[in-house]
Chain A
Amino acid sequence: MEQNSPENSRDGLPPFIKNWPQMYAVVIGTLFVLIVLFYLMMRYFS
């Protein structure tokens, strides 16, 4: 990947995230966690 490609730029990234692929992983990981939590919630209350 080129050094100046948007994936390597830190512009816009929160301080605790190193690069954009890591940011994407956080978003997809959060989706997975939400699905699990919703499922557990449904099981518990139904």
Chain B
Amino acid sequence: MSFIDWLVLIGTLSFIVIYGMYRSRGKQNIEDYLIANQSLPWYHVCFSVMATQASAITFLSAPGQGFADGMRFVQFYFGLPLAMVVLSITFVPIFHRLKVFTAYEFLETRFDGRVRIFTVILFLLSRGLSTGLSIYAPSIILATILGWDLTWTNILMGTVVLVYTVSGGTKAISHTHLQQMIIVTVAMFVAGYMVVHLLPAEVGFVDALKIAGKAGRINTIDFHFDPNSRYNLWSGLIGGFFLQLSYFGTDQSQVGRYLTGQSIGQSRLGLMMNGLLKIPMQFLILLVGILVFVYYQYNPAPLFFNQVEIDKLKSSQYAADYESLETKHQRLVSNQREAVDNLAQALEKDQSSEVERWQNTINEADKAKKELKSEAVALIKKNNPTADTSDVNYVFLRFVLDRLPIGLIGLLIAVIFSASMGSIAAAYNSLASTTVIDIYKRFYRKEGSENHFLNASRLATIGWGIFCVIVAQYASKLGSMIEAVNILGSLFYGVILGIFLVAFYFKKLGGRATFWGAVLAEIAVVLCWWFDLTAFLWLNVIGCLLVIGFAWGYQQIMGKENKVG
């Protein structure tokens, strides 16, 4: 990166951090620190919720998914608006009325301490692990740019976020989220414009979409119901609905965001606006990915986008084998370039037989390129068995570094960093608030001064920061990170959601039935995943329904408890 890029990167990130700390200055108590004293307007809630969900993973993996797999990933978010509606009707009024710090406090009011602590453990486990992945995502950028060791980049990334999270708490997080989302939106529009600008003069935006469409990349909707297909309309609407409802309704990193709303109405409007904006935002990020795909139809693309692994391979005994693969790849690329030119002409002249002919040529070349990539991956694996063999996360990054002008590179890298900082900060805050409110205050120190619990929250934040950095060390073995995070969430979220749905809608089911129902459901979900019985999105539905079913069955067999909600 040039000096100007470094200046833009450091300037943008410093502005965000300093602004957040400045807006959260002054004396704090535990309410300020954990839920911003419930004082924030709807747009803070909306952008904070969006920034928490949209991590660096969103801006690294999603364009890469668009490039490699087309736009079908957008269907994953179809359940989100429906989940926002259910949350606004049920969860938000209850959490606000009970004036809780964490969602799990409600479970003890409704059931007992056992259900609360079981849910807290599931949450801490899933959120702690997935936050490790969120740290790893921007760390690979530093590793690629600077050639640093991943251990040090993980430590650096995890620590920078700790500084303003520990000092400013929820208010600092919320103010930084607002700045982050503005910068992210502007930068992604500029990136999209730049990709189109870098295409040959005769290829406009619509032409690029036509080429992407003929190459099978505009696969936005799939109506086929297939429980083993990862992304289709039904898994998005049904599985996605359960996942998003569970994520936003029971994951403290999100609950903690809308608990900061100054009223029920402000929290609700924030969630409704998230329901309106999230799908278009995700669509645009994937669109940038398919525009990058079109760009590489006209320009030489690397055989494998992770330059660090390629450099290692080139200095190994397999260098000659890789050179040979690269030569074959370049031949394919130039043939494909010719086919793309012919396809563009045929599309312009509306010659359907010619369009079909060149479309087939492009698709065949695409297939051959994928086979070459598999061979390259095999070489990488032979050379370094611990290597990251998925390059989906590197596609957009490689494009930014190789093709965008000075200044814009710094801005785009700042976007990836600031998005990551936003989600990591919210996660640290939620892990700390759950540890202090649901474990420390509940089981160890029921009484104490404001200052004592404030310091305990700060210490818990630091402790979780260290844990997440350790997890980040092991994250490179998980393929596409955005999928890894969602799979991890799906293992736990369905069961947690089931517990909350029993709490809200099944008033006759008691704590003991719910507890054993949840334990059995979690075992069943892990078995479904272990034996690969279904696509991961359905695990949310299965987990949720099994909790309800098992709890109901348990109560039928064992009889009603004395204490019900």
Tell whether A46 pairs with B218 under 8 Å between CB atoms, given A6-B265, A20-B268, A34-B279. Answer: yes
Q: Decide: B218 and A31 in contact? CB cutoff 8 A.
A: no
- For A7-39 the 0/1 string (1 means CB < 8 A from B) is 101111110000010011011101100110011
Tell me, yes or no, whether B42 is within 8 Å of chain A by CB: yes
Q: Decide: B218 and A45 in contact? CB cutoff 8 A.
A: yes
Q: Which residues of A contact B482 (CB under 8 A)?
A: none
Closest residue of B by beta carbon distance from A23: B272
The minimal Cβ–Cβ distance linking B430 to chain A, given in whole angstroms, is 24
What number of A-B contacts does a CB cutoff of 8 Å give? 84
Secondary structure class of chain B's binding surface, majority of residues = helix
Q: Decide: B78 and A31 in contact? CB cutoff 8 A.
A: yes
Q: Decide: B85 and A35 in contact? CB cutoff 8 A.
A: no
Tell me, yes or no, whether B336 is within 8 Å of chain A by CB: no
Secondary structure class of chain A's binding surface, majority of residues = helix
Q: Decide: B269 and A42 in contact? CB cutoff 8 A.
A: no
- Segment with Cβ contacts to A, from B122-130, B208-216, B443-451, B497-505: B208-216
Query: In the complex, A11→B262 CA distance in Å?
Result: 10
Q: Decide: A38 and B276 in contact? CB cutoff 8 A.
A: no
Closest residue of A by beta carbon distance from B42: A12
Q: Decide: A42 and B220 in contact? CB cutoff 8 A.
A: yes
Q: Which residues of A contact B275 (CB under 8 A)?
A: 27, 30-31
Q: Which residues of A contact B216 (CB under 8 A)?
A: 46
Tell whether A42 pairs with B221 under 8 Å between CB atoms, given A9-B264, A27-B272. Answer: yes
Tell me, yes or no, whether B93 is within 8 Å of chain A by CB: yes
Q: Decide: B213 and A31 in contact? CB cutoff 8 A.
A: no
Q: Decide: A38 and B81 in contact? CB cutoff 8 A.
A: no
Tell me, yes or no, whether B84 is within 8 Å of chain A by CB: yes
Closest residue of B by beta carbon distance from A9: B265
Query: In the complex, A35→B81 CA distance in Å?
Result: 12
Q: Decide: A13 and B213 in contact? CB cutoff 8 A.
A: no
Q: Decide: A28 and B85 in contact? CB cutoff 8 A.
A: yes
Q: Decide: A6 and B264 in contact? CB cutoff 8 A.
A: yes
Q: Which residues of B contact A26 (CB under 8 A)?
A: 276
Q: Decide: B81 and A27 in contact? CB cutoff 8 A.
A: yes
Residue in A10, A11, A24, A39 whose CB lies within 8 Å of B85: A24
Q: Decide: B263 and A12 in contact? CB cutoff 8 A.
A: yes
The minimal Cβ–Cβ distance linking A26 to chain B, given in whole angstroms, is 8
Residue in B78, B212, B265, B279 whose CB lies within 8 Å of A12: B265
The minimal Cβ–Cβ distance linking A9 to chain B, given in whole angstroms, is 6
Tell whether A27 pairs with B266 under 8 Å between CB atoms, given A6-B93, A41-B220. Answer: no
Q: Decide: A31 and B220 in contact? CB cutoff 8 A.
A: no
Q: Which residues of B contact A7 (CB under 8 A)?
A: 89
Q: Decide: B218 and A11 in contact? CB cutoff 8 A.
A: no
Q: Which residues of A contact B219 (CB under 8 A)?
A: 42, 46
Q: Decide: B209 and A45 in contact? CB cutoff 8 A.
A: yes
Q: Decide: B82 and A38 in contact? CB cutoff 8 A.
A: no
Which of A20, A39, A44 is packed against the most chain B CB atoms within 10 Å? A20
- For B253-279 the 0/1 string (1 means CB < 8 A from A) is 000000000011111110010011001
Tell me, yes or no, whether B233 is within 8 Å of chain A by CB: yes
Task: Point out residues on B near A: beta carbons under 8 Å.
Answer: 42, 71, 74, 78, 81-82, 84-85, 88-89, 92-93, 209-210, 212-214, 216, 218-221, 233, 263-269, 272, 275-276, 279-280, 283
* 5 A/B residue pairs, CB under 8 Å, sorted by A: A11-B265, A12-B264, A27-B85, A35-B221, A42-B220
